Amino acid sequence: MYERILVPTDGSAVAEVAVSHAVDLAERYGADLYALYVVDIDAVNLGLGTEQVDRIRQGHFGEMDELESRASSATGVVAEAARDRGVDVVEETRVGRPHKVIANYAEKEDIDLVVMGSHGRAGVSRALLGSVTERVLRSTHVPVLVVDKQGTE
């Protein structure tokens, strides 16, 4: 049923809950797992100059070792969990608007299922803060499994 499962991660506790589900599903179905970290260019753009942002867009982190380290750490958690269960994993880092990058990656890589965490916000809080998960749901035709962190506490 699932041969290629994507788990976008930012290294947060919410993402780690989704990672657990994604690894379980990948093991159960014999699927390959794709760990994707997206450098949110809009967030980065606020504190950097144009030249640095352009380099990051091209995938050259340069002095931005912290970004590269954060990405490597986040996808590394997925890779370690997957390898412990005998699941093949591909680690990727991309730059852009997270929901667009995730949706495009899912389409391009022929992903069968996206597994993402959610903070479980509702109402005004969700409307004001937005939600990468909600935007991914609206941006792709690939099935998305949303794991609600509140339901696991």
Q: What is the pTM of this model?
A: 0.81
Range in 50-54, 131-135, 140-144 the model is least confident about: 50-54
**The pLDDT value given to residue 132:** 87
Instruction: Give the separation between CA 12 and CA 96, rounded to whole angstroms.
Output: 19
Q: What residue ranges define each of the domains in the chain, with the CATH number in brackets?
A: 4-152 (3.40.50.620)
Selection from 94, 125, 130, 119 nearest residue 109 by Cα:
94
The string of pLDDT tens digits covering residues 24-54 is 999 999 999 999 999 876 655 445 545 554 5
> Which has the higher per-residue pLDDT, 70 or 27?
27
Q: What is the mean pLDDT of residues 140-144?
A: 95
Instruction: Give the separation between CA 7 and CA 152, rounded to whole angstroms.
Output: 18
What is the overall mean pLDDT for the chain? 82
Q: What is the mean pLDDT of residues 59-76?
A: 72
Residue 152: pLDDT band (50, 70, 90) is: very low
Instruction: Give the separation between CA 139 and CA 119, rounded to whole angstroms.
Output: 19
**The pLDDT value given to residue 118:** 83
**The pLDDT value given to residue 60:** 52
> Which has the higher per-residue pLDDT, 77 or 41?
77
